[in-house]
Amino acid sequence: MQRVWSDGLAEQVGRPVRVAGWFHHLRRLSRVSFLLVRDGRGLIQVVVDEPALADRLAALERESVIEVIGHAVAEPQAPGGVEIRAPQINVIVATAVQPPVVMSGPTLRASLPTILDHAPITLRHPSRRVAFAAAAALARGFRQALDARGFVEIQTPKLVAANAEGGANVFRVDYMGREAYLAQSPQLYKQIMVGVFERVYEVGPIFRAEPHDTPRHLNECISLDAEMGFISDHREVVGLLRDVVAEMIDAAGRAGIPAVDVPSELPFIDFREALRIAGAADDEPDLAPAHELAIGAWAAREHGSDFVLVEGYPTHKRAFYTHPDPAAPERSLGFDLIFRGWEVCSGAQRLHRVEDYLAVMRERGMDPAAFEGYLEAFRHGMPPHGGFAIGLERFTTRLLGKNNLREATLFPRDLNRLAP
């Protein structure tokens, strides 16, 4: 008999079925027991009438792998509206020890560190699993939106020779006797690839050796990067970002995640205005997390929007490749997208003339020789271009209304955590 998953059981009502999964829970009542089997997609209720079978199950450890053959019957109280009756149960793998955390409740009653320490088991809990089904849907939506617009997926190296973005926050690697670094972003490569395909995207890990321990930072994350050439201005990039975000949220919606409205035009404010709204000093160089929360609250209040774009950041505080506003060069054409009070995306129009790169490198004391491959692309013709990078874990965290990136990261890497 073909195995049926929990999400296909409703179509089998009235028929014999075979299901398989993990022994999630057993509730013994005086006359009947209810077994919950968890498979990769949901829960299945099995009615156990036979006292001998209930005794056998009571002696079995939770998380044992089992198979149930029985009869599918409609039952509005059961998960998915179906339960299995008259079961025959085969134990595929009997486990010998209790799970480290009780798995049967609607949520896990354990601290986040305990949940993360035992991720191989706690990720199985339905309340944890949903974040990663959402992340998978968001990544799919990102790719579909860009595929439909003629973008080409690229895979760029994570081992790099130059500490391209500057700063000390870079991981060093012993590269067969030479020093290499882990890429902090695919930025330079995706720009080079605009010279090849004009429109490119990448989904991949980025690495930052920041010794932070905050709910918003991890040392390894997934970046959803896009970059496009022949733009007329940075607003064209913002327009693309808006549409990509809307399609990501649609894709998550098809995976069962509650929808969020994405305004057809993202509300935007100037950086100085953002500082004012956040009650920050007007010489602050960037927005702190508390400022982002204040701006998110303002956007919800003033625009009924979960999203708000901040633009016009000071040029000298943005990455060297950011294009200044030609009308006011101290103001950059860079922007950040704030989603429910967290910055989830950073983008910009970039410099595209080699002489502008050489000038900014001179100004910032950077050595052009360390960027030779990158500069070669600009020396041989690059169109006006721009792009953005969305932090997948940040986006997922806020979409699910969570407050810690670790809730949306399978195996987080931080100051204290390198395993499991």
Rule CB under 8 A: which of 132-171 touch its own copies?
132-133, 135-136, 139-140, 143, 147, 150, 152-162, 171
Q: Are 55 and 63 in contact (CB under 8 A)?
A: no
**Residue nearer to its own copies on the CB measure, 21 or 312:** 21
Q: Is 92 in the site for its own copies (CB under 8 A)?
A: yes
Among 82, 382, 389, 405, binds its own copies (CB under 8 A): 382
Among 270, 302, 363, 376, binds its own copies (CB under 8 A): 376
Stretch of 25-33, 77-85, 320-328, 352-360 lying at the interface with its own copies (CB under 8 A): 352-360
Q: Count residues binding its own copies (CB under 8 A).
A: 95
Half-sphere exposure of 386 (CA within 13 A, CB side): 22
Q: Is 63 in the site for its own copies (CB under 8 A)?
A: yes
Residue among 347, 351, 348 nearest 382 (CA): 351
Rule CB under 8 A: which of 185-204 touch its own copies?
189, 192-193, 195-199, 203-204
Q: Is 34 in the site for its own copies (CB under 8 A)?
A: no
**Residue nearer to its own copies on the CB measure, 81 or 211:** 211
Stretch of 105-113, 240-248, 327-335, 380-388 lying at the interface with its own copies (CB under 8 A): 380-388
Among 219, 315, 332, 349, binds its own copies (CB under 8 A): 219
CB of 106 to its own copies, least distance (A): 18
Binding characters for its own copies, 301-320, by CB under 8 A (x = yes): --------------------
Q: Is 395 in the site for its own copies (CB under 8 A)?
A: no
Q: Is 253 in the site for its own copies (CB under 8 A)?
A: no
Q: Is 176 in the site for its own copies (CB under 8 A)?
A: yes
CB of 200 to its own copies, least distance (A): 9
**Residue nearer to its own copies on the CB measure, 72 or 228:** 228
CB of 343 to its own copies, least distance (A): 20
CB of 418 to its own copies, least distance (A): 4
Residue among 351, 362, 291, 346 nearest 324 (CA): 351
The whole-angstrom distance between residue 205's C-alpha and the CA centroid of its chain comes to 11
CB of 381 to its own copies, least distance (A): 4
Among 244, 392, 399, 405, binds its own copies (CB under 8 A): 392
Stretch of 73-81, 265-273, 288-296, 377-385 lying at the interface with its own copies (CB under 8 A): 377-385
Rule CB under 8 A: which of 265-304 touch its own copies?
none
